[in-house]
Amino acid sequence: MSTQNNNVTITSVMMPIVEFPVVTEQTILKEALEEMDNLHLGVACVVNNEGHLLGILTDGDIRRKLLSVQKPLSAFFIDDAIEHAIINPIVISPSHSLYDAVVLMDKKRVWDLPVVDNKKLVGLLHLHPVVNALLNR
């Protein structure tokens, strides 16, 4: 990658907790989807009471489930969101550079990277703000 902003930190670009969907183990799928819709993001992070990241739920996960799960939508909606989340998702530590994060996003073909510091979710790297930062906008 050729950019003048190789030294930009992850913490300066990541979205803070309040700006992206964060739900708990008790959150049902329907509420998680509403949270994603309200915050205009295709991803929700599931955390436990200590704020540790348990999994992430994405639009793609839901799309695949809609095509495979045959139960009524009302039954699907009341499942816990965590049941349909990816457990142990790809994450990045805030100590890495933004460049490392972009390389990882490219390698894993993901748009969003939860930023995790010692198991605790501290933010979310979303591809668009990252691109803007790297383009020095």
Partner 1 sequence: MKNNNMNTVEVGYGKVDKVKVGYKLPLVFIGGPCAIENEDHAFKMANDIGEICLKLNIPWIYKSCYDKDCRSSPDSFHGTGIDSGLKILSDIREKFGVPVVSDFSDPEWATATGEVCDLVQIPAYLCRQTSILRAAAKTGRPIHLKKGQFMSPWNMKNSVRKLEANGCNQIILADRGTFMGYNMLVNDMTSFPIMNRTGYPVCFDATHSIQLPTSMGNISGGQREFIPFLVRAAVGCGINALFMEVHDNPKNALSDANTVLDLKYLENILAQAKIMHETRLEILDKFGEDNVHPE
CA distance 29 to 2: 40
Check if the beta carbon of residue 114 is closer than 8 Å to that of residue 51: no
Under DSSP, is residue 93 helix (H, G, I), strand (E, B) or coil?
coil
Tabulate helix, strand, coil % of the chain (nearest 5): 40, 25, 35
- Are the C-beta atoms of residues 96 and 49 closer than 8 Å to each other? no
Determine, following the binding rule CB under 8 A, whether residue 26 of this chain makes contact with partner 1: yes
**Nearest-approach distance from CB 60 to partner 1, in angstroms:** 16
Q: Which stretch binds partner 1 (CB under 8 A): 40-48, 78-86, 89-97, 99-107?
A: 78-86
Q: Is residue 78 a contact point for partner 1 (CB under 8 A)?
A: yes
Region near partner 1 per CB under 8 A, out of 3-11, 38-46, 76-84, 114-122: 76-84
Q: Is 49 in the site for partner 1 (CB under 8 A)?
A: no
Judged by CB under 8 A, the stretch of 50-58, 74-82, 105-113, 118-126 that binds partner 1 is 74-82
- Is 74 a binder of partner 1 (CB under 8 A)? yes
Count of chain residues binding partner 1 (CB under 8 A): 11
Beta-strand relationship, 120-126 and 15-16: antiparallel
d(CA 29, CA 107): 29
Binding stretches for partner 1 (CB under 8 A) = 26, 28, 65, 68-69, 72, 74-75, 78-79, 83
